[in-house]
Structure 1
Amino acid sequence: MATTVTKRERQPAGRLSVARVCVDMGLAHLDRPFDYRVPAELDEAAQPGVRVKVRFAGKVADGWVLDRAETSDHDRLAWLEKVVSPERVLTPELITLARAVADRYAGNLSDVLRLAVPPRHARVEAEPTAADDDAGAPEVPPVDPAGWGRYPAGAAFLRALADGRPPRAVWSAMPGEDWPARYAEAAAETVRSGRGAVFVVADARDLDRLDRALAAALGPGRHVALSAALGPSERYRRFLAASRGRVAVVAGTRAAMFAPVPRLGLVGIWDDGDDLHAEPRAPYPHARDVLLTRARLGDAAALVGGWTRTGEGQLLAETGWAREIVPDRATLRTRAPVVTPTGDDPQLARDPAAATARLPSLAWQAAREALKDGAAVLVQVPRRGYLPSVSCGDCRAPARCPHCAGPLQLSASRAVPACRWCGRVSAGFACPHCGGRRLRAAVTGARRTAEELGRAFPGVPVRTSGRDEVLDTVGAEAAVVVATPGAEPAASPGYGAVLLLDTWALLTRADLRAAEETLRRWTAAAALARPGGRVVVVADGSLPVVQALLRWDPAWHAGRELAERRELGFPPAARMASLTGKPEAVAELLAELKLPERADVLGPVPAGGDDERMLVRVPRGDLAELARNLHAASAARSARKAPHPVRVQIDPADLF
Structure 2
Amino acid sequence: MSRENGRPEAGASDAGEQLALIREAVRENKAGRAKPRTWRGAELAAQLPVARVLVDKGLVHLDRYFDYAVPAAMDDEAQPGVRVRVRFGAGEKGGRREGGKLVSGFIVERVAESDYRGVLAPIAQVLSSERVLTPELLGLCRAVADRYAGSLADVVQLAIPPRRARAEAKPSPDPQPPNAPPEPGSWERYGAGPGFLTALTRGDAPRAVWTALPGATWPQELARAAAAALAGGRGALVVVPDGRAAARVDAALGELIGTGRHVLLTADAGPEERYRRWLAVSRGAVRAVVGTRAAMFAPVADLGLVALWDDGDASHSDPHAPQPHAREVLIQRSVNERAGFLLGGLSCTVEAAQLVETGWARPLAAEREQVRAAAPLVRTVSDGDEARDAAARAARLPTMAWQLVREGLQRGPVLVQVPRRGYAPRLSCERCRTPARCRSCAGPLESQHAGDLVCAWCGRPEPDWHCGECGGTRLRARIVGARRTAEELGRVFPAVPVRTSGRDHVLATVPDAPALVVSTPGAEPVAEGEGYAAALLLDGWALLGRPDLRAGEEALRRWLGAAGLVRGQVAGGTVAVIAEPTLRPVQALVRWDPVGHAVRELAERAELGFPPVSRMASVTGRPEDVTDLLRSAELPAGAEVLGPVPLPIPDPGRPRRPGDPPAGEQWERALVRVRPGQGAALAAALKAARAARMVKREGEAVRVRIDPPDLG
What are the within-5 Å matches in structure 2 for residues 167-178 of structure 1?
A: 167-178=206-217
Show the counterpart of 1:74. 116
- Partner residue in 1 for 2:176: 134
Show the 5 A alignment for 1:22-421: 22-58=54-90, 59=100, 60-76=102-118, 77-127=120-170, 129=171, 132=174, 134=176, 140-342=179-381, 344-372=382-410, 374-384=411-421
Shift, 1:444, TM fit: 2.3
Q: Deviations over 1:90-116 (max 9, x none)?
A: 111100000000000011000111111
Residue of structure 2 equivalent to 1:588: 628
**Residue number in structure 1 paired with 2:510:** 474
- Give, in angstroms, the shift of residue 131 of structure 1: 5.5
Residue 53 (structure 1) shift: 1.6
| Deviation (angstroms), 1:478 | 1.5
Structure 1 residues 6, 554: closer, same or farther in 2, change over 3 A? Answer: farther
Contact preservation (8 Å) 2:616, 2:671: yes
> In the superposition, relative to structure 1, how do residues 9 and 131 fare at CA in structure 2: closer, same or farther (>3 Å)?
farther
SS at match of 1:211: helix
Secondary structure of the residue aligned to 1:482 is: strand
2:689 to 629, 633, 637: 633
Q: Does 1:19 align with 2:62?
A: no
Deviation at 1:75, TM superposition (A): 4.1
Choose the corresponding residue for 2:701, options 638, 645, 650: 645
Contact 1:592 1:636 (8 Å CA) reproduced: no
Partner of 1:489: 525
Q: CA deviation at 1:190?
A: 0.6
* TM-score under structure 2 length normalisation: 0.81
Identity %: 57
Map Cα deviations across residues 263-310 of structure 1 (whole Å, 9 max, x no partner): 111111111101111111111111111111111111111111111011
Ranges in structure 2 where 5+ consecutive residues have no aligned partner: 1-36, 91-99, 427-448, 450-476, 650-665
Structure 1 counterpart of 2:386, one-letter code: L
Equivalent residue, structure 2, for 1:622: 678
Q: Residue 61 of structure 1: CA displacement?
A: 2.3
Q: Which amino acid aligns with 2:403?
A: Q
Deviation string for 1:345-364 (max 9, x for gaps)? 23212322211222211121
Residues 133 and 305 from structure 1, CA distance in 2 versus in 1: closer, same or farther, beyond 3 angstroms? closer
1:398 alignment partner in structure 2: none
How many Å apart are 1:41 and its aligned residue?
2.1
Match of residue 513 from structure 1: 550
Name the SS of the counterpart of 1:64 in structure 2. Answer: strand
Q: Secondary structure at the match of 1:225?
A: strand
Q: Is the 8 A contact 2:306 2:330 kept in 1?
A: yes
Indicate the SS of the match to 1:363.
helix
Aligned-partner Cα distance in 1 for 2:624–2:668:
10
SS across alignment from 2:678? helix
Count, aligned residues? 594
Report the Cα offset of residue 133 of structure 1. Answer: 5.9
Distance 1:442 1:134, change over 3 A: closer
Question: Do the aligned residues in 2 keep the contact of 1:158 with 1:189 (CA within 8 Å)?
Answer: yes
In the alignment, the residues of structure 1 paired with residue 38 and residue 400 of structure 2 have an alpha-carbon distance, to the nearest angstrom, of: 81
Partner amino acid, structure 1, of 2:331: L
CA contact (8 A) 1:380 1:525 kept: yes
Deviation at 1:141, TM superposition (A): 4.3
Q: Which amino acid aligns with 1:638?
A: M
SS in 1 for 2:204: coil
Letter in 1 for 2:63: D
- CA distance in 2: counterparts of 1:471 and 1:230, whole angstroms: 19
Partner of 2:446: none
Judge which range, 585-594 or 514-523, deviates more. 585-594
User: 5+ residue gaps in structure 1?
Assistant: 390-404, 406-440
Structure 1 residue 384: Cα displacement: 4.3
Give the partner amino acid of 1:635.
A
Question: CA–CA distance in 1 between the matches of 2:172 and 2:337?
Answer: 29
Q: TM-score, normalised by structure 1?
A: 0.87
Match of 1:321, SS state, is: coil
Partner in structure 2 of residue 534 of structure 1: 574
Residues 107/334 of structure 1: CA separation in 2 closer, same or farther (3 Å cut):
same
| CA drift at 1:199 | 1.5
State yes or no: 1:548 paired with 2:604.
no
In structure 2, relative to structure 1, the CA distance for the partners of 1:383 and 1:131 (3 Å cut) is closer
Q: Deviations over 1:115-166 (max 9, x none)?
A: 1111111122123x1562635xxx5244120211110121111111010001
Superposed CA offset, 1:583-629 (max 9, x none): 11112211220010121111111124411011110012001111111
Compute the displacement of 1:538 (Å): 1.0
Change (3 A) 1:540 1:328: same
Confirm whether residue 462 of structure 1 aligns to residue 498 of structure 2.
yes
One-letter identity of the residue aligned with 2:82: V
Structure 1 residues 469, 27: closer, same or farther in 2, change over 3 A?
closer
Distance in 1 separating the partners of 2:78 and 2:61:
26
Find the aligned partners of 2:223 and 2:646 in 1 and give their Cα distance: 45
Of 599, 621, 626 in structure 1, the residue corresponding to residue 639 of structure 2 is 599
CA contact (8 A) 2:541 2:580 kept: no
Higher mean C-alpha deviation, range 453-462 or range 302-311: 453-462
Determine if contact 2:284/2:300 at 8 Å carries over to the other structure. yes
Structure 1 position 256, deviation (Å): 0.8
Tell me, what secondary structure is at the counterpart of 2:616?
A: strand
Q: Of residues 422, 433, 450 in structure 1, which corresponds to 2:486?
A: 450
Query: What secondary structure, in the 3-state scheme, does the structure 2 residue paired with 1:80 have?
Result: coil
* 1:198-238 Cα deviation digits (max 9, x unpaired): 12111111111111112112211111111223222112111
Q: Is the contact between residue 384 and residue 447 of structure 1 (CA under 8 Å) also seen in structure 2?
A: no
The residue number in structure 1 matching 2:452 is none
- Tell me the distance in 2 between the aligned counterparts of 1:225 and 1:6: 48
Over aligned residue pairs, what C-alpha RMSD do you find?
2.0
Q: 1: distance between equivalents of 2:622 and 2:184?
A: 56
Report runs of 4+ in structure 1 exceeding 4 Å deviation.
Answer: 5-9
State the 1:7 CA deviation. 6.2
